[in-house]
Structure 1
């Protein structure tokens, strides 16, 4: 693996995760202004998917945009990925927030990196190393402290919130690993772009975006929407996807956990919410995990090189 390409991959995945985190904070501002969660999910999936396909059309092999539908097996896989991957992880995550809160929902979703490692172990595609144990522990402990400030009591939420949150982690695990064969045949922008459109189109039947009254929207609201759709979704996905060319599934998934760090920091300095001691401790855990991955040697496991995960938030 070229060291320069690896550094570029690390930079892209971290930047993408930061945009996701900031996008989540901006989305919270939109919710505070009365924006419907389901409408926002549907709208950002449809528009971001379209923009990703436009990037593919302008800058890469445009023939792949339609070629992906010419093979029945590939078309079916793409539909499954769009519905059970993209849409599932979006819906379960938002449902967990709806029934509980964003902290618990995000914490439970971040069980996915550990689930991926367990899956690879069961498939005998990798072996459990000390580095795996340390990085997963740092990611989970860091996320716990960041999102709960060390208080177990904050996990006392309704059962539906816990169920939806665990399902979100399971959905993210499926989403991360299922797209591997598709990514071997087609550019990632094509796969993710179509998956977003499929997910957004399907959700439109339940929550039609055209029924939203946008007349009360202010200029500030439109700016927030633009940021969530362009930076918090399209560019975040684009950067993350490009990073998969040089990073393993475990690395990409674990580095994606910088997302809650970005969300917490923007919440503290922008929304002016308090930041406790254990949250700073969680910050240290996440930064330590990032340095461990960045400075460590890349895994030589074949499955790690071939299985390219995708991330969604």
Structure 2
């Protein structure tokens, strides 16, 4: 029963992440919700809720304990602004200019960027798996972004730039979080990072500067889904699944996130998706599965699987 519960939690969390991106696209396109406002509000409320989960069910002393050491506090602030806020804003901006499917798949370039970074730093050696992973990512992105024709891009250039930046931000998020996650629970680190990121962005996009009374009830429902289900519950379920499943299993089952984003974008929002884009999607999904199944995956890439965005906080 414990294993079945873990499988249910990780798949549900991944589905919420993927669908959350598509719902955010709906908010941007149909209700003209500002990207900055949504990111600020989403991070603030989800961060507070995750810290509340830690307070009620886990080691509550860590909530304030993370601020007792100056070095850790500075690392947490940097992680919150450059890591958490960086990932969330670039991902949402990519959705705003393009669509959730492409934004999510481009964000999954993060493991490839980590591989390249570790190779440049000579912290790992090039393996056959690395070569295949990079080739799958390149081929997948080519088909995804061009639909097989170099004459015209299938999505706006702004969406591509923000999507690639999202992948780079997620790579930084993954690598920088490792020492913090060795000392404190993931809910504490991610919860505080969300709050810090939201407070930093609130100087530019205050969460109270929006006419919520002009929105229909449908928009409120979408906002609740993005904040509660697509962020807070998605991350919580993913972390809880690690109690009964191996990190590699959660990573593999978590690949349902990009699939959920693609299918809901195509079939719910009716976004055009060409045959070659499906081939590109398949390449990137296969790349994710290859990384999850690989026995020689680096510990830093594995950390991405175990301590993801709200992710992925996507």
- Report the TM range for the smaller structure's normalisation: 0.7 to 0.9
Q: Is the 1:146–1:280 contact (alpha carbons within 8 Å) kept by the matching residues of 2?
A: yes
Q: Is the 1:267–1:273 contact (alpha carbons within 8 Å) kept by the matching residues of 2?
A: yes
Q: Distance in 2 between matches of 1:47 and 1:14?
A: 23
TM-score (norm 2): 0.81
The answer to whether structure 1 residue 28 and structure 2 residue 25 are counterparts is yes
- Structure 1's unaligned 5+ residue stretches are none
Cα offset, 1:157, TM superposition: 4.6
Deviates more, 1:301-310 or 1:83-92: 301-310
TM-score (norm 1): 0.81
Aligned with residue 199 of structure 2, among 195, 201, 217: 201
Q: Distance in 2 between matches of 1:155 and 1:275?
A: 9
Aligned to 2:50: 52
Deviations 1:54-85 (A, max 9, x none): 11111111111111111111111100100111
Superposed counterparts of 1:172-251, under 5 Å: 172-241=170-239, 246-247=246-247
Q: Is the 1:139–1:257 contact (alpha carbons within 8 Å) kept by the matching residues of 2?
A: no
Cα offset, 1:279, TM superposition: 3.1
Deviations 1:161-188 (A, max 9, x none): 6654443332221111101111001000
Q: Distance in 2 between matches of 1:82 and 1:124?
A: 27
Q: Distance in 2 between matches of 1:221 and 1:110?
A: 28
Query: Taking structure 1 as reference, are residues 218 and 306 closer, same or farther at Cα in structure 2, changes over 3 Å only?
Result: closer
Aligned with residue 114 of structure 1, among 88, 112, 115: 112
Superposed counterparts of 1:17-166, under 5 Å: 17-31=14-28, 32-96=30-94, 100-102=97-99, 106=104, 108-146=106-144, 148-152=146-150, 153-154=152-153, 157=156, 164-166=162-164
Deviates more, 1:260-269 or 1:68-77: 260-269
Q: Is the 1:142–1:282 contact (alpha carbons within 8 Å) kept by the matching residues of 2?
A: yes
Q: Distance in 1 between matches of 2:137 and 2:256?
A: 9
- Structure 2's unaligned 5+ residue stretches are none
The answer to whether structure 1 residue 260 and structure 2 residue 258 are counterparts is yes
Aligned to 1:299: 296
Query: Taking structure 1 as reference, are residues 177 and 53 closer, same or farther at Cα in structure 2, changes over 3 Å only?
Result: same
Deviates more, 1:176-185 or 1:8-17: 8-17
SS of alignment partner, residue 25 of structure 2? helix
Aligned with residue 282 of structure 2, among 261, 281, 284: 284
The answer to whether structure 1 residue 270 and structure 2 residue 268 are counterparts is yes
Query: Taking structure 1 as reference, are residues 112 and 188 closer, same or farther at Cα in structure 2, changes over 3 Å only?
Result: same
